[in-house]
Structure 1
Amino acid sequence: MEQQFNTIYSMFCNRVQETPDIAAYCERLNNQWQPTSWQSLKDQVEYFASALMAHGFSKGDTVNILAGNRLVWPIADLGTIAAGGISAGIYPTNSAGQCEYIFKHSECKVLVVDTLDQLNKILPVSQSLELIIVKDPVDKSLDKVIQWDDFLEKGKANPQYLNTIQKMTENSDPEDIIIIVYTSGTTGMPKGACLSNRYVLASCEALKHTVDAINAAIPDVYKQANEQPESLSFLPYCHVAERISGMYNRMYLGVTGYLVDDITKLYPYMLEVNPHSFAGLPRFFEKIYAKIKNDIETENGYDRDAFYRAVEFNKQVKQLNREGKNVPIQIQQAYENAEKNIFSKIRGTLGNRIMSLTSGAAPIPEDVLHFFEYGANIPIYEAYGLTEFLCGAFNTPDARKPRSVGCPMYGAQIKIASDGEILFKGPLLFSGYYKDEAATNEAIDADGWFHTGDIGKIDEDGFLFITGRKKEFIKTSTGKKISPLLLENLCKRNHVISNVMVFGDFKKYLTALITLNPDELKGYAKVNQIEYNTYEALTQHPEIIKMIESIVQSVNAQVSRTEQIKKFRVLTRDFSVDQEEITPTGKVKRKIVTARFKDVIETMYA
């Protein structure tokens, strides 16, 4: 696998040299977007690195970053790497105890926080830290605490370290560990995945191949000539997807990132920025789908019949194109009229320059996928990867299948083990778990294959399908082993359902706890004229229970009798990150949910 650079920092310097005056990031300050050029970013990165070295920072030391999507993140991250250190992010939603664990496990010497709230959270557990850098104005008399601007000024006043930084980056090795990404941890304390220069650069190259394939299929009518590509940065940088496919891949491709530090403002910012591409989680697309679908069904700004006719024309045109057949002029004209009056209007809800959509982390319901492809004329390309091997599989315009996560990405090798486990191999692989040789040896076998823990299959065309988690199989009282993930994902194909957790260990039959998406549920109630007083009451309304039952029955029709969900309960609220029932990336913590809703579960086996 050919790579243009040996280190992240050399890639960064090349980007600065090629486009010094182009905006690297835009940050929301005083209700306006404030741009920072690549050259200005590099200046601040060097100030940060110099200040670290003036503080006594050594090669291999660790900096933790506890901040939202603000400019401090890329500056601190790249500055740490420039100083020869290791950068490790922490989720802003983590508790003080979880932060303390990462401080100590990563042997962190320096911590960067953005707000006083974050500072106050960690101060009681900060004994192991040498220095805390705070972005917002702070009481300078606090022990070990320095304000961000003062820290950068310290670096600016010590330019003698720039030569050291230059020599250090020139002598860096592709296998040097530069990042530790802590997994969100569904079963215990998180593991620290060590990522090297090689991992990041190989991932960027793999992503570039995928982006090129997607861009090549974008209709010319969508494209804006000679415009600087722009996208939103809203997922946490401590998550591997936003760190690699967001921060570093934008750097590699020269894309401007708009920093969204308040997730509740994502949608209005999207309409304001008008990004050219958007990489989101399924939940975002489900919300957009629910709102527009509700408007269509109630004819709020849309002609319902015209919309469904347009969808049929779109399906016909795409099918004829796939078959290599000519499109009859009457259908082509109807399609072009639908594009002008309907598809473009729906796409406009994502901004008037949007050209591509991608998603990962979890499957998107099929009705949502179909809506965007045929109702908005813009497909969503789904991907699959893990912290340890981010660039695993991706659907592309020329290679995609329903319910598949795609074919192997550039540089990725995939095979299925004898027990059905998905294995990865290639230069995109992580370097092991920090201070956990046993876990590393368990994850990477003697032949260099990474054991993902996911169960799947590869079809005759090379497409990968995820069917379950190896450690989450349910064993019923009859001895049957069943994948709960398969059933849960089948249920979640309906956008009204938010989370599903299937039970049945050592039981005669399977049951499920089901939570609902509030916006989608309220929209369903409005369209179907269901009256209710409170949201909690709506979740238990007989018509809603009947609707959920029909979804469960349709899922049961797709599996064997022993895999069918015999009983379910709809909860009055969704699982929550704050209550530690799901991780920041949306994965259900099964042990916690099982314990918390034990009484509800037992009613289904009474």
Structure 2
Amino acid sequence: MALTIDTAFLDTMPANVAVQFFDRVAASPDSEAFRFPRGEAWESVTWKQAGDRVEALAAGLIALGIESEQRVGIASGTRYEWILADLAIMCAAGATTTVYPSTNAEDTVYILGDSESRVVFAEDDEQLAKLTAHRAELPHVTKVVTFDGAADGDWVITLDDLAALGAARLAEQPDIVRTTSEAIAPDQLATLIYTSGTTGRPKGVRLRHSSWVYEGEAIRAQGILSESDLEFRWLPMAHSFGKVLMSTQMACGFAAAIDGRVDKIVDNLGVVKPTFMGAAPRIFEKAHGRIVTMQAAEGGAKEKLFKAAFATGLEVERLKREGKSVPIGLKVKHGLFDKLVFSKVRDRFGGRVRFFISGAAALNRDIAEWFGAAGITILEGYGLTETSAGSFVNHPDQNKFGTVGPVFPGSEVKLGENDEVMIKGPGVMDGYHNLPEETAKTLTSDGWLHTGDKGALDEDGHLVITGRIKELFKTSGGKYIAPPAIESKFKAVCPYASQFMVFGEERNYVVALVTLDPDAMAGWAEANGMSGASYTDIVQSDAVKAMVAEYVDELNSHLNRWETIKKWKLLDHDLTVESGELTPSMKVKRNVVQGNHQGLIDEMYA
């Protein structure tokens, strides 16, 4: 049965993000807002403390001459200062332009130039170097504010310098930030997010204040989160998924622990003990692979117990989903396995997680069910940068595996030509910055957004994404293939997998390029007499090739005959953001990978 959510909140939403923020500060002044690492310890600030700092920084931007809708860049990883800078920009009526710290100098300069950013927040000396080396190409940039880098007191100042400028301005005009905030129209530009894109130059997506406010308020209206929750946030704030979590936090009032260092996620979960976290599927794939391979390495009775526990857990969850009662014997067995196995899995994530939210790419159903069997709920959601991130999300009380949930209250969905998912609602972008022709291709005259994704709607209005229209290909035998579906299945059966890329357009059979997870393979090497060997030597060994062959055979047993992988090649390196083969949000740039390895692909058809 479909869930119905009251849409009355649409009539009472805050006018803009700045008002939304200051409303939260007024409602929860002494409650914890953020915690963040300082050396080995974690520091905490209240909403009032965060509000005072944001107000000073916003006044500093006004003192630097930032006017309504003028762009201010942030080139930094996820950290507390990123959030302060973003809120200050919007409270000063400016518009944040996001730049991933991994973006190369050429694209950084392009984004800041195309957006005509006037001020840039730069995390450290590495980010500063990109700007100072190309200062002549950034005529609009009048000031750079650094979090940790070396300031020169002229073009480059520190965050404290900016706050001091703001304090002086507030001494003259105490209400300057509040009056500026209150004058921001709902449809005013709040953010320019440049999609990393798998082809060509990044495109700047123009997102309004009302879109971000709507996103947070729509999640609050669904009752998924409350003030008592604690979020762990590591996702790139330069990505729309990170930004929507900030909007949700202001709407709901929970605290967030902030640390963007990906290598610290597991350690931080143990320390922070959050109740929820947003993540891309790669994080769940890695965690699943790590736990499964660790148990396999233990072998013997422990591995048997682990496998028996998950067989039982999956059966119990299946019965619950089908509305059937769990037999008493199975219930007792499940309770025992929960103490012996599942509680230990949950402890790896801090032991308090109510659910994870997965977005940014498709989550494999088998992996979602595996976590569910351990008592860890993953709510899959769906949206695009062009819809301010969230447009669909599953609910804890109606979580349907294989779907991304119902559309947000206040938004609409329909299936267009070729079953293309089309979305209309307050979250949809204004358009692409300086690209009217691209905008016209993506947005219809009556406000429907072409997503480029193929989908289906079930009887409860839950959306199933069946593939990316451009990624679907036809074999020479006339059969359609959806690569993402096959690729995610391989990651579910092979705990060592990092990437699995399927090719075969206009060919008579399907082939794949495979990469393995370096961390998982280091563990495999220790257990298989190759400790200390390089990643390249490990993956080129006969033992690894034989192991991968077994997993490919297992995958093929779950596929239609025309989808089966006839040949495959192991790459001697994993894909990385730095190599240009992954976007910063961990999506594979299929055309780049294909271009880099066309010779290998052709060889499989020789």
TM value normalised by structure 1 = 0.90
Matched, 1:565 2:577: no
Matched residue of 1:13: which SS? helix
One-letter amino acid matched to 2:230: E
Find the aligned partners of 1:474 and 1:396 in 2 and give their Cα distance. 33
Residue 148 of structure 1 is matched in structure 2 by: 159
What is the aligned partner in structure 2 of residue 257 from structure 1? 256
Match of 2:377 in 1: 379
Counterparts of 2:70 and 2:497 in 1: how far apart (Å)?
45
Q: Is the 8 A contact 1:296 1:302 kept in 2?
A: no
Cα 1:327/1:509, change in 2 over 3 Å: closer
Q: Deviation at 1:355? A: 2.1
Cα distance in 1 for residues equivalent to 2:151 and 2:460: 61
In 1, Cα distance between equivalents of 2:515 and 2:62: 50
Q: Could you tell me how far apart the structure 2 residues matched to 1:282 and 1:174 are?
A: 33
Cα distance change of structure 1 residues 416 and 547 upon mapping to structure 2, 3 Å threshold? farther
Residue 510 of structure 1 corresponds to which residue in structure 2? 510
1:173 to 174, 179, 185: 185
Contact in 2 for aligned 1:84/1:168 (Cα 8 Å): yes
Partner deviation per Cα, 1:403-449 (whole Å, 9 max, x = no partner): 32233233332222121211111222122111111111111112321
Code of the aligned partner of 2:43: Q
- Cα 1:304–1:514, aligned 2, differ >3 Å: closer, same or farther? closer
Q: Which runs of 5+ in 2 are unaligned?
A: 1-6
Paired residues for 1:96-175 under 5 Å = 96-127=105-136, 128=138, 129-136=141-148, 138-140=150-152, 143-159=154-170, 160-175=172-187
- Report the residue type matching 1:203 in the other structure: E
Q: Verify the 8 A CA contact 1:62 1:110 in the aligned structure 2.
A: yes
Partner of 1:219: none
Stretch moving more, 98-107 or 197-206: 197-206
* Distance in 2 separating the partners of 1:557 and 1:344: 32
Per the TM alignment, residue 313 of structure 1 is displaced from its structure 2 partner at its CA by 4.2
Name the residue aligned to 1:223: none
**Alpha-carbon shift at residue 228 of structure 1 (Å):** 4.5
Query: What SS does the corresponding residue of 2:376 show, helix, strand or coil?
Result: coil
- 2:4 is matched with none
Q: Which residue of 2 aligns with 1:193?
A: 205
For 1:242, give the aligned amino acid. Answer: G
Mapped pair 1:202 → 2:200: no
What residue is the counterpart of 1:353 in the other structure? Answer: 352
Letter of the 2:247 partner, please give it.
Y
- Of residues 83, 87, 93, the one that matches 2:92 is 83
CA distance in 1 between counterparts of 2:216 and 2:300 reads 41
Shift of 1:158: 1.1
| Partner in structure 2 of residue 538 of structure 1 | 538
Q: Distance in 2 between matches of 1:521 and 1:449?
A: 45
Count of residue pairs the alignment pairs up:
590
* Aligned 8 A contact 2:235 2:260 in 1: no
CA offsets 1:521-574 (integer angstroms, 9 cap, x no match): 4556777x5768543233234443344344444555555555443322111211
2:54 corresponds to 1:45: yes
The answer to whether 1:426 aligns with 2:438 is: no
Cα-to-partner distance string for 1:285-322 (whole Å, 9 max, x where unaligned)? 22322332234334489833443444344445445544
Following the alignment from structure 2 to structure 1, what is the Cα–Cα distance between the partners of residues 225 and 87?
29
> Residue 419 of structure 1: SS of its match in structure 2?
helix
Q: CA deviation at 1:347?
A: 0.5
CA distance in 2, matches of 1:354, 1:336: 19
- Which residue is 1:449 aligned to? 448
Superposed CA offset, 1:354-392 (max 9, x none): 222221222334443233211x21221211111112222
1:521 and 1:410, CA in 2 relative to 1: closer, same or farther beyond 3 A? farther
TM-score with structure 2 setting the length: 0.90
Instruction: Give the partner amino acid of 1:285.
Output: F
2:451 maps to amino acid: T
In structure 1, distance between residues paired with 2:535 and 2:332: 45
1:368 maps to which residue?
367
Query: Could you tell which deviates more after superposition, 41-50 or 406-415?
Result: 406-415
TM-aligned CA distance change 1:316 to 1:94, over 3 Å: closer
Q: Does the 8 Å CA contact 1:373/1:379 hold for their aligned counterparts?
A: yes
The residue aligned with 2:66 is 57
Q: What do the CA deviations read for 1:336-360 (whole angstroms, capped 9, x no partner)? A: 3333333222201111322222212
551 and 214 in structure 1: CA distance in 2 versus 1, 3 angstrom threshold: farther
State the shift of 1:140 in Å. 2.2
Kindly state the Cα deviation for residue 260 of structure 1 after the two structures are TM-superposed.
0.8
Q: For residue 183 of structure 1, what is the amino acid of its counterpart?
A: T
Distance 2:464 2:366 in 1: 18
Name which of structure 1's ranges 262-271 and 481-490 shifts more when overlaid on structure 2: 481-490
Distance, in Å, in 2 between the alignment partners of 1:325 and 1:555 is 30
Distance 1:307 1:29 in 2: 38
Distance 2:279 2:558 in 1: 29
CA distance in 2 between partners of 1:30 and 1:297 (Å): 36
Percent of residue pairs bearing the same amino acid type: 33
Residue 578 of structure 2 is matched in structure 1 by 578
- In the alignment, structure 1 segments of 5+ residues that lack a partner are 216-226
Residues 92 and 118, structure 1, Cα contact 8 Å, conserved in 2: yes
Contact 2:72 2:94 in 1 (8 A): yes
The answer to whether the 8 Å contact 2:236/2:585 transfers is: no
Deviation digits for residues 51-72 of structure 1 (CA, Å, limit 9, x no counterpart): 1111222112110001122222
Matches within 5 A, 1:298-447: 298-299=297-298, 303-322=302-321, 324=323, 326-374=325-373, 376-389=374-387, 390-447=389-446
Moved more, 440-449 or 489-498: 489-498
Letter of the 2:233 partner, please give it.
S
> Conserved in 1, the CA contact under 8 Å of 2:215 and 2:247?
no
